[in-house]
Structure 1
Amino acid sequence: MKIIVPMAGMGKRMRPHTLTVPKPLIPIAGKPIVQRLVEEIAKVSDEKIDEIAYIIGDFGKDVEEQLGEIAVNLGAKSSIYYQKEALGTAHAIYCAANSLTGKVIVAFADTLFKADFTLEADADSVIWVQKVEDPSAFGVVKLDAMNKITDFVEKPQQFVSDLAIIGIYYFKNGDNLRDELKSLIDNDIRVNGEYQLTDALENMKNKGLIFKPGQVIEWMDCGNKDATVHTNQRILEYHKNDDLVCGSSHQENSIIIPPCYIGENVEITNSIIGPHVSVGANTSVCNSLVRNSIIQRHSNLENLNLENSMIGNHVDIHGDVTELNVGDFATLSK
């Protein structure tokens, strides 16, 4: 089994954090988004993950090495492909054409999920879906009485279904997908200037391939600051029975209200942390109250009353503030 991860987007809605770090590498409860994504996929796959192919932009050698480590830790080969121009979902996946063979899972790296099922062996493809209140913002699927997908509709303006495609797809034969993506690009079939994956899926269905839905327990978005902080909260809840406080961290005259992730060499003094807080390695928090927030690595926080916040790496903040969205290398004082 191969996992294809398109992640070349610029993550504009997650700025300022994505000015220095690609969005899929932003940590959620101590692990990068993309790592949590591929680990969750591995759990629902009965087969060994042989390769993880990442489609990225010009992210640099350090990022590529980090992605490689994520693959190696799952016992998989790492492959890197580049998307130089944003030309749609179909184009992004086709950038990894050389890896689109055999059994393939395609997972866009801006979402996390929890699921309690295994892939159906009799389906040519499984499309992960979730019910949503406003389907007009998503690609959706329609089902027949046999629970097979009959239609793919991109951002319907009139109601046709509330089953939104969450961005994770299984294909029994990746060669079929590769051929359909190539056909779209060779024939320059675009919607609003972009090559759409749903067009390729529709063509495959019309050729007789069987598509079935995969229902998830929960779908968690990482599209902006508030959504990412909420996803951090939900992931911490799922892991609340795990030991999330690293042994090298130190607390003095402080209280940690679980669930919280406390990274390596974190120093917490005269503070109350939690619930639902993640603190990255080598960060110090002093004389502060922090709730429902993500604080990344090598930062220094003092005299804060903080909640629903996202703090980057190498940040220094001193003063009485309640909600922040601060990227890397910032300094704030009051």
Structure 2
Amino acid sequence: MRIIIPMAGMGKRMRPHTLTVPKPLIPIAGKPIVQRLVEDIAKVCHEPIEEVAFIIGHFGEQVEKDLKEIATQVGAKGTIVYQEEALGTAHAILCAKESLEGKVVVAFADTLFNADFQLDTNADGTIWVQRVEDPRPFGVIKLNENNEITDFVEKPQEFISDLAIIGIYYFRDGAYLRDELQYLLDNDIKDKGEYQLTNALENMKNKGTKFIPAVISEWLDCGNKNATVYTNQRYLEYIKDEEGLVATSAKLENAVIIPPVYIGENAKITNSVVGPHVSIGNNTSVYNSVVSNSIIQENTSLKNGNVANSMLGNFVVFEGRQSDLSLGDYNTLAE
């Protein structure tokens, strides 16, 4: 099994947090979004993961090293592939054409999920979906009486289906997918000016490929600050019974901790109330503050604050305000 992760986007809706790091490396409950994604896909695949191919922009040597380490942690080889220009989802996936062999999961890196199924790897293809109240903003699928997908419909304005495509796909034959994507580029077949994966899916279906749905229990978005803070909250609820959420090297002095929380290595919490639903990164200090429903990254200092629904980046210094915050790396804000 191989996992292909397109993640070359600029993450503009997550600025200022994506000015210094790619969005998929922002932490959720102590681990980067993309690491959570890889680990969760591995859990529902009952086969070993051979390779994880990350399709990226030129993010730098350290990011590439971190991504390869994420692959190593699920027992896989990490491959770095570059997407030089944004030409659509089909083009992005095809950048990793050398890795499109055998069984493949394609997962776009701004989506996390909770699922209680095991992937049926004998199926031709599987589209991961969730039921939504309002399907109009999404791509949706239609099913026949055999639970096979008959149609892919983009942003239907009249009700067709409430099964929204979340951006994760399984293909039993990666080489077949590669050929269909290449066909779109070779024949300049575009939709709204870009090469789209849905066009390849439609062509494959018309040739007899049987796609089935995998319905997840919860779909979590990391597209902007508020959505990411909410995803952090939900993830902490998922893993609240795991050991090690508060590092043994963390120093807690006159601190009230309201679970679930994640507190990283060598963090210092002094004269403060932290939680619920807070993630605090390594080497971060919180003094004389109240923090709830927030993500505070590494090497940051928070003093005399009362913050909620907030994201503070790395190497931030924040003091003395009550706020709903979104501060990127290396910012200082003090009264």
State yes or no: 1:161 paired with 2:161: yes
CA shift, 1:146, in A, is: 1.0
State yes or no: 1:123 paired with 2:129: no
Residue number in structure 2 paired with 1:42 = 42
Give 5+ residue unaligned stretches, structure 1: none
Residue number in structure 2 paired with 1:54 = 54
Residue number in structure 1 paired with 2:317 = 316
Instruction: Give the Cα–Cα distance (whole angstroms) in 2 for the partners of residues 30 and 102 of structure 1.
Output: 32
Residue number in structure 2 paired with 1:172 = 172
Instruction: Give the Cα–Cα distance (whole angstroms) in 1 for the partners of residues 278 and 99 of structure 2.
Output: 38
CA shift, 1:199, in A, is: 0.5
CA shift, 1:213, in A, is: 0.1
Residue number in structure 2 paired with 1:274 = 275
TM-score, length basis structure 1: 0.99
Residue number in structure 2 paired with 1:251 = 252
Residue number in structure 1 paired with 2:197 = 197
Residue number in structure 2 paired with 1:327 = 328
CA shift, 1:180, in A, is: 0.5
Instruction: Give the Cα–Cα distance (whole angstroms) in 1 for the partners of residues 292 and 255 of structure 2.
Output: 14
CA shift, 1:225, in A, is: 0.4
CA shift, 1:129, in A, is: 0.1
Residue correspondences, number = 334
Q: Which runs of 4+ in 1 moved over 6 A?
A: none
CA shift, 1:155, in A, is: 2.0
CA shift, 1:36, in A, is: 0.3
Residue number in structure 2 paired with 1:17 = 17
Superposition CA RMSD, Å = 0.8
CA shift, 1:156, in A, is: 2.1
Instruction: Give the Cα–Cα distance (whole angstroms) in 2 for the partners of residues 133 and 20 of structure 1.
Output: 36
CA shift, 1:169, in A, is: 0.4
Secondary structure of 2:63 counterpart:
helix
State yes or no: 1:286 paired with 2:305: no
Matches within 5 A, 1:97-136: 97-136=97-136
Residue number in structure 1 paired with 2:185 = 185
Residue number in structure 1 paired with 2:28 = 28
TM-score, length basis structure 2: 0.98
Instruction: Give the Cα–Cα distance (whole angstroms) in 1 for the partners of residues 137 and 177 of structure 2.
Output: 24
Q: Which piece of structure 1 moves more, 280-289 or 131-140?
A: 131-140
Secondary structure of 2:212 counterpart:
strand
Residue number in structure 1 paired with 2:232 = 232
Residue number in structure 2 paired with 1:94 = 94
Instruction: Give the Cα–Cα distance (whole angstroms) in 1 for the partners of residues 154 and 162 of structure 2.
Output: 12
Letter in 2 for 1:10: M
Secondary structure of 2:136 counterpart:
helix
Letter in 1 for 2:323: T
CA deviation string 1:58-91 (max 9, x = no partner): 1010000000000111110111111111111111
- Alpha carbons 2:260, 2:275 under 8 Å: kept: yes
Give 5+ residue unaligned stretches, structure 2: none
Instruction: Give the Cα–Cα distance (whole angstroms) in 1 for the partners of residues 61 and 163 of structure 2.
Output: 39
- Alpha carbons 2:130, 2:216 under 8 Å: kept: yes
Instruction: Give the Cα–Cα distance (whole angstroms) in 1 for the partners of residues 334 and 97 of structure 2.
Output: 50
CA deviation string 1:188-240 (max 9, x = no partner): 11111111100000000000011000011111100000000000000000011
Letter in 1 for 2:200: A
CA shift, 1:153, in A, is: 1.3
CA deviation string 1:215-270 (max 9, x = no partner): 11111100000000000000000011112000000011111100000000000100
Instruction: Give the Cα–Cα distance (whole angstroms) in 1 for the partners of residues 329 and 193 of structure 2.
Output: 34
CA shift, 1:130, in A, is: 0.4
Instruction: Give the Cα–Cα distance (whole angstroms) in 2 for the partners of residues 46 and 266 of structure 1.
Output: 37
Instruction: Give the Cα–Cα distance (whole angstroms) in 2 for the partners of residues 26 and 122 of structure 1.
Output: 34
Instruction: Give the Cα–Cα distance (whole angstroms) in 2 for the partners of residues 194 and 133 of structure 1.
Output: 28
Instruction: Give the Cα–Cα distance (whole angstroms) in 2 for the partners of residues 266 and 305 of structure 1.
Output: 18
Instruction: Give the Cα–Cα distance (whole angstroms) in 1 for the partners of residues 306 and 78 of structure 2.
Output: 42
**Matched-pair identity in %:** 67
CA shift, 1:320, in A, is: 2.0
CA shift, 1:118, in A, is: 1.2
Instruction: Give the Cα–Cα distance (whole angstroms) in 2 for the partners of residues 276 and 75 of structure 1.
Output: 30
Secondary structure of 2:98 counterpart:
helix
CA shift, 1:154, in A, is: 1.8
- Alpha carbons 2:122, 2:172 under 8 Å: kept: no
Cα separation, partners in 2 of 1:174 and 1:290, compared to 1, 3 Å: same
Instruction: Give the Cα–Cα distance (whole angstroms) in 2 for the partners of residues 139 and 196 of structure 1.
Output: 12
Instruction: Give the Cα–Cα distance (whole angstroms) in 2 for the partners of residues 19 and 78 of structure 1.
Output: 24
